[in-house]
Structure 1
């Protein structure tokens, strides 16, 4: 059994196919294609699909998880009158409406995991609904079924889960696209910041911002 992870950036689209039939998943194929326009086009999706088929001869392409880069999402802290994630998810959208540079009906959002001892502080990650839908359509037309669309913070937290599925405590850093910093404590995110990629060579400033 295989699964595919696709990462979109401004300049490239990358895909990794994992074989999960063994005890430890192994990389069965890894391909990437340049974007002819920022964040890719339907033609780029087709080129990626062909590259995957060549790398996995005779294997039908499985569904994919697509990761959106920070440049296409909105990371927002918010304080809500509840402390548990289910109730916060039910009401957080109202806090975002009118506070993002997109139309309210375009907002597609979810909350990052919170510490076990909740404080009412949450971090929402939102994207344009139309872009998420277009991503699914483009890859679907190229023969890659999109099972799930996630954002860089979610993908980063999934890299080091504990046995219970919660992220391990620590500081998480990603420079694949823009710079993304997350601080995790008690199984949830307690701080989250995004920075331009140009700041990747200034670690003191990044860590200072995370401490604020």
Structure 2
């Protein structure tokens, strides 16, 4: 209970910090119905791969739907959202997740048993989540509840070393996307390149996770 309260408080501080940065850099957002398309897209994508729940995938998918609708002459205005600001948000959330994973994941390690192929193995697992209320840039100070989730496991490495390393990788990914998002917000650069790199770099995180095992 104490750990849950601690993570809830941390999530609130993270939400305030990210909201402050978004308000200063990206400006206040109109909370429109269009943004809610991200929810069903995330749920559908996540049904195929759990990591696809992340905004790093649902934002590019929504942009793809917008372009396909425009090309086919279908109503596309429903899919217009602040894509540049969303890229910045993805970066900030992953920076926060990386920091929290680095410091908190080693404190939530539990032993597990499972299978690696047909071989029975023992290892370690960690699972953490934070509710992050983003409210300073939403419509009339209403907050948008977001969840950060970090889940990892290892069967061949020291768990503290593995989870801290992955936390650092997540932070680095977040820093790259934050810089890219900031440039997109401030400069009139092409959006497509950033939306392509966002999921591709996220997939590299998954590749690193498996390669170091």
TM-score normalised by L of structure 1: 0.27
| Structure with the higher fraction of residues in strand conformation | 1
More relative contact order in 1 or in 2 (CA 8 Å, sep 6+)? Answer: 2
| Structure with the higher fraction of residues in helix conformation | 2
